[in-house]
Amino acid sequence: MSLAEKVAFITGVTGQDGAYLSELLLSKGYRVHGIKRRSSSFNTERVDHLYEDPHNNDPRFRMHYGDLTDATNLIRLVQEVQPDEIYNLAAQSHVAVSFETPEYTANSDAMGTLRLLEAIRILGLEAKARFYQASTSELYGKVQEVPQRETTPFYPRSPYAAAKLYAFWITVNYREAYGMHASNGILFNHESPIRGETFVTRKITRAVAAIEAGAQDCLYLANLDAKRDWGHARDYVEGMWRILQQETPDDYVLATGEMHSVREFVELAFAELDCPIEWKGEGVDEVGIDTRNGRVLIRIDPRYFRPTEVEELLGDPSKAKRVLGWEHKTPFKELVSEMVASDMRSFRGSNLLLRRAVAE
């Protein structure tokens, strides 16, 4: 079959990775079908630029209502779409929120993966449809080895990670039990200008823009010393695609091999405004100060600490480099700059609109 005829089915198409992956697959000539959830307000902003009027003949990008908690819906959609490749990106993806909604997180992230794999099996598509599971560095949790690679033991530290652990192993099991082309991408944190606003990187870059625009006084964070291996989402979706192009299904770590703290991220982000940060105090009383004028820009809000934390993660992407020829491209500093610049543009735009609305 030629690439031009390939059909992809993406769950989580309205999320950060879903949007970048859709762009990538469309650029490769795929037809892309995604599921979106019914919501009382618009939730398709990240993919609106890909939207094609369904009244036009034969759109290459289509969305269907769906939910990972609804098995019959998944079976019907997989039946209708007959995909060559399925990317299971949908999840309740916020670690802190998973402590608040553990049952829902298990239902969508663990059981949802099982429902999708079962849909493939029930429909007899085991030989046709390749399956990608969005696994995560959170599986390593309480770290047993540094850096973490495919063979490092897992130790999940949140309801999210425990649900993703089930999803990881059920994917491996369906590969071994039914010969399915099912693979896990164990992806370390990846960010972008369209990262969800409550993940720490975007929360910081939005705050930088809002503080500069005078719309926010101070940024509240929690564990400043948590360390992550942060890459760019655009680079990582290329790795997802490469994983499904292999003859043999397998599991791969995608990471940069570099680790930075939340504190460093804050310093770099404010440096984009030429604003050097100095840290004073300790524990929950620690503050980040603008050294030019003594203004407090960062404070600690204990509500954002997690009941069990993942202190540091550092990936070893050497298998992905060797087998997939994949490497991350965007340096850390460039990622931070791009995110701050994008948030500054949107704040300036919205401020302008606000001023216009007030003036008119």
Burial category of 58 from C-beta neighbours within 10 Å (exposed 0-12, middle 13-18, buried 19 and up): exposed
Residue 316 CA to residue 10 CA, distance in Å, equals: 27
Task: Select the span of 88-96, 173-181, 285-293, 294-302 touching ligand NDP (CB under 6 A).
Answer: 88-96
> By C-alpha distance, which of 251, 2, 25, 277 is closest to 10?
25
DSSP labels, 148-193: B-TTSPP---SHHHHHHHHHHHHHHHHHHHH---EEEEEEPPEE-T
Rounded to a whole number of angstroms, the CA Rg of the chain reads: 21
Number of neighbouring beta carbons within 10 Å of residue 90: 27
Q: How far is the CB of 86 from ligand GDR (least distance, A)?
A: 19
Residue 133 near which of ligand GDR, ligand NDP, none (CB within 5-8 Å, type-dependent):
none
Could you list the active site residues?
A: 136, 138, 160
Identify the helix (H) or strand (E) that includes residue 96.
helix 95-100
The only residue of 7, 8, 9, 11 in contact with ligand NDP, by rule CB under 6 A: 11
184 binds ligand NDP (CB under 6 A): no
Give the nearest distance from C-beta 97 to ligand GDR in angstroms. Answer: 9
Least Cα distance to 251 among 342, 341, 187 occurs for: 187
Binds ligand GDR (CB under 6 A): choice among 32, 262, 266, 268: 262
Does the footprint of ligand NDP cover residue 67 (CB under 6 A)?
A: yes
For residue 163, state whether it binds ligand GDR (rule: CB under 6 A). no
220 phi, psi to nearest 5 deg: -100, 125
Contacting residue, 13, 50, 95, 182, with ligand GDR by CB under 6 A: 95
Binding mask 209-228 for ligand GDR (x = CB under 6 A): ------------xxx--x-x
Query: Contact region for ligand NDP (CB under 6 A) — 10-18, 22-30, 213-221, 292-300?
Result: 10-18
- Compute the C-alpha angle 339/344/350, nearest 5°: 125
The nearer residue to ligand NDP, 231 or 288, going by C-beta atoms, is: 231
Antiparallel, parallel or unpaired: β 130-136 and 61-65: unpaired
Give the list of residues 6+ apart from residue 272 with CB closer than 8 angstroms, or none: 208, 336, 337, 340, 341, 344
Binding site partner of 200, from ligand NDP, ligand GDR, none, Cβ cut-off 5-8 A by kind: ligand GDR
Closest contact distance (angstroms) between CB of 330 and ligand GDR is 17
Q: Which residues bind ligand NDP (CB under 6 A)?
A: 11-12, 14-18, 35, 37, 39, 43, 67-69, 89-93, 108, 112, 134, 136, 187, 189-190, 196
Q: Which residues bind ligand GDR (CB under 6 A)?
A: 93, 95-96, 136-138, 188-189, 198-201, 203, 221-223, 226, 228, 262, 304, 306, 309-310
